[in-house]
């Protein structure tokens, strides 16, 4: 068949199965979700894909030279520590050096030999000075090959990267992205965030504006669990991690140390993903018993969260699925598995899906409403990317002050919850070097543009 004939056949097939699919959606109670969120989102994503995001090749060139120099330096130091050169990218050669030449403790054994993955190397950090350098080398080489070297070849003739968004891949309803995956641009480390420096506004008279939901999943957890302490903290606008540490450790918020706040943050963000005492112990660098005591006290303090987790697992076991606040379903057959590891994974899915899935639904609603407002209110701004809880726009400089309140209002009002949704907005010439735009900034800008009334009335 010719391409045209094949396309026509696919269209006819879609028309033929439409009644069956509509009936199935209605039967599952998903017709409203499909009609009011997923369908209206299609043209929004199509415009985003067509628009693309501008890429600064010069910035990538600077990173390439800098990363290359660091890679060479680290290789030289590692070779000096070991006493000879070898291929750092070869697991077999690395195994030989680590476990047979340096006689470091052997970890997990695989089919091909002893593992040299990141988990094993983290456990060996204190055993030899070259381990830190090897881990750093891996970070630089990964960033360089995956982004610095790869992105320019993916750039279209218009100087922009055009990703493809997928609505029906992630079971939680989250969007995914490919060719290239622009939802995977690093953000967790200072070095990784520098990749964002190459993502820029496409013209001198335009800037990038990023709008990011603040702690959206934790706020949804407060809503679905009904936990009074968590709801109260969000209602007061408290530092939620400091507040958690203070409650769990029975001390005043002002007496909480940075390490204690950091541990509370790990638990707050990890609890919906089934963080264990082992996980907290490894990440916080504390004894496992201390981690278990912290988690136990956390659940005793935030009893609403503890009840939610027990309740949602029982619901999932009984009906075989869980839903988001808007009715998106996820079946969890793993809960019926004999294998305890699979059952544990199913329990984590049951706890997390209503939270992460609701967050995905909220962002999609906000995208649809924002796209309508950009069009209806005559903005020249364009939505470029969605990276889970963050939306990225390219905006004419003279529109920023008018657009920011519209973005904030639309995102924060996407779905009413028992706790407020809040959005952080930043503006800059590139995706890394961005300046926060506060509510006060927006009020001042609005006041500056307002006509001055005569005192005489």
State the pLDDT confidence band at 449, using cuts at 50, 70 and 90.
low
- Please state the rounded mean pLDDT for residues 108-120: 88
- Report pLDDT for 279: 86
Task: Give residue 452's pLDDT band: very low, low, confident or very high (50, 70, 90).
Answer: very low
pLDDT on residue 1: 84
Residues 6+ apart with CB under 8 A from 403: 209, 379, 381, 393, 395
Query: How would DSSP label each residue in 217-238?
Result: HHHHHHHHH--HHHHHHHHHT-
Task: Give the per-residue pLDDT at 337.
Answer: 94
**Mean pLDDT across the chain:** 93
- Written out in words, the top-level CATH class of the domain with range 29-52+163-215+355-457 is alpha beta
pLDDT at 281: 87
Q: How far apart are CA 149 and CA 153, in angstroms?
A: 8
pLDDT of residue 132: 95
Q: Is residue 421 within 8 Å of residue 411, measured between CB atoms?
A: yes
Residues 92, 93, 94: CA angle, nearest 5 degrees: 90
CA distances from 410 to 135, 173, 368, 407, 415 (A): 42, 20, 10, 5, 10
Instruction: Name the DSSP class of 213.
Output: E
The tokens for 193 are 């965030």
What's residue 111's pLDDT?
83
**Residue 410, Cα to own-chain centre: how many angstroms?**
20
Superfamily of domain 217-354: 5' to 3' exonuclease, C-terminal subdomain (1.10.150.20)
In angstroms, the CA 130 to CA 443 distance is 53
**Where are the domains positioned within the chain?**
29-52+163-215+355-457, 58-151, 217-354
Q: Angle at CA 265, nearest 5°, toward 260 and 269?
A: 155
Average pLDDT over residues 354-359: 97
Going by pLDDT thresholds of 50, 70 and 90, the confidence category of residue 446 is low
Confidence of residue 442 (pLDDT cuts 50, 70, 90): low
pLDDT at residue 457 above 50?
no
- Residue 250, by phi and psi: left (phi above 0), alpha (psi -120 to 50) or beta? left
Question: In CATH terms, are 58-151 and 217-354 the same topology?
Answer: no
Residue 438 has pLDDT above 90, yes or no: no
For position 451, what pLDDT does the model report?
A: 54
Q: What share of the chain is helix, strand, coil (3-state, %, to 5)?
A: 60, 10, 25
**pLDDT at position 444 over 70:** no
pLDDT of residue 456: 39
Phi then psi for residue 395, to 5 deg, are: -130, 135
Q: Return d(Cα 304, Cα 228) in angstroms, integer.
A: 7
**286-304 pLDDT per residue, tens:** 888 999 999 999 999 999 9
Give me 20's structure tokens.
């069956």
* Cis peptide bond N-terminal to 274, omega within 30: no
Asked if pLDDT for residue 94 goes beyond 90, the answer is: yes
pLDDT of residue 441: 64
List all residues 6 or more positions away from 374 whose beta carbon is below 8 Å from its beta carbon: 381, 382, 383
CB of 435 within 8 A of CB of 428? yes
pLDDT value at position 448? 53
Nearest to 164 by CA among 145, 149, 182: 182
The string of pLDDT tens digits covering residues 238-282 is 999 999 999 999 999 999 999 999 999 999 998 878 888 888 888
Q: Is the pLDDT of residue 9 over 60?
A: yes
Return the residue matching tokens 């609701």.
Answer: 358
Residue 354 vs residue 453, higher pLDDT: 354
For residue 156 the two structure tokens come to 């279209």
- Give the per-residue pLDDT at 389: 94
Query: What is the distance between the alpha carbons of residues 457 and 448, in angstroms, rounded to a whole number?
Result: 19
Give the residue-averaged pLDDT of 172-201. Answer: 92
Q: What is the CA radius of gyration of the chain?
A: 25
Start-to-end CA span in the chain (Å): 76
81: number of Cβ within 10 Å? 15
What pLDDT score does 440 carry? 61
CATH code reported for the domain at 58-151: 1.20.1060.10
In this prediction, residues 47-70 reach a mean pLDDT of 97
Under DSSP, is residue 257 helix (H, G, I), strand (E, B) or coil?
A: coil
Q: Is the pLDDT of residue 396 over 90?
A: yes
Q: Under the phi-then-psi rule, with left for phi > 0, alpha for psi from -120 to 50, and beta for the rest, what region is 320?
A: left
């Amino acid at each position: 068949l010719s391409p045209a004939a094949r396309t026509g056949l696919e269209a006819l097939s879609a028309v033929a199965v439409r009644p069956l699919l509509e009936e199935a959606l209605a039967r599952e109670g998903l017709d409203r979700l499909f009609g009011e969120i997923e369908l209206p989102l299609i043209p929004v994503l199509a415009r985003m894909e067509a628009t693309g995001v501008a890429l600064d090749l010069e910035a990538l060139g600077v990173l390439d030279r800098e990363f290359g120099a660091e890679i060479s330096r680290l290789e030289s130091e590692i070779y000096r520590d070991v006493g000879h050169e070898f291929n750092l990218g070869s697991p077999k050669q690395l195994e030989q050096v680590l476990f047979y030449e340096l006689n470091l403790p052997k970890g997990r054994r695989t089919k091909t030999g002893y593992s040299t993955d990141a988990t094993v190397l983290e456990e060996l950090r204190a055993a030899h000075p070259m381990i830190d350098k090897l881990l750093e080398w891996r970070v630089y080489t990964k960033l360089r090959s995956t982004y610095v070297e790869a992105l320019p070849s993916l750039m279209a003739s218009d100087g922009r990267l055009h990703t493809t968004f997928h609505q029906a891949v992630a079971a939680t309803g989250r969007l995914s992205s490919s060719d290239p995956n622009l939802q995977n641009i690093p953000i967790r480390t200072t070095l990784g965030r520098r990749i964002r420096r190459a993502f820029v506004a496409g013209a001198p008279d335009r800037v990038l504006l990023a709008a990011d939901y603040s702690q959206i999943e934790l706020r949804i957890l407060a809503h679905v669990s009904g936990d009074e302490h968590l709801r109260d903290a969000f209602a007061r606008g408290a530092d939620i991690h400091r507040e958690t540490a203070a409650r769990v450790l029975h001390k005043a918020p002002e007496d909480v140390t940075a390490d204690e706040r950091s541990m509370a943050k790990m638990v707050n963000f990890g609890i919906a993903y089934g963080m264990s005492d082992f996980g907290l112990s490894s990440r916080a660098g504390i004894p496992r018993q201390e981690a278990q005591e912290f988690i136990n006290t956390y659940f005793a303090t935030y009893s609403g969260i503890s009840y939610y987790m027990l309740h949602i697992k029982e619901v999932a076991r009984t009906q075989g699925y869980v839903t988001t606040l808007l009715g998106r379903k996820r079946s969890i057959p793993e809960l019926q598995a004999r294998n305890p590891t699979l059952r544990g994974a199913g329990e984590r899915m049951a706890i997390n899906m209503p939270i992460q899935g609701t967050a995905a639904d909220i962002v999609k609603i906000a995208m649809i409403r924002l796209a309508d407002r950009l069009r209806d209110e005559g903005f020249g701004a364009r939505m470029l990317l969605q990276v889970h809880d963050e939306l990225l726009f390219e905006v004419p400089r003279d529109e920023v002050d008018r657009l920011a309140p519209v973005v904030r209002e639309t995102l924060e009002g996407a779905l009413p919850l028992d706790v407020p949704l809040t959005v952080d907005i930043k503006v800059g010439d590139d995706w890394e070097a961005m300046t926060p735009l506060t509510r006060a900034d927006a009020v001042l800008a609005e006041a500056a543009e307002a006509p001055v009334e005569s005192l005489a009335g």
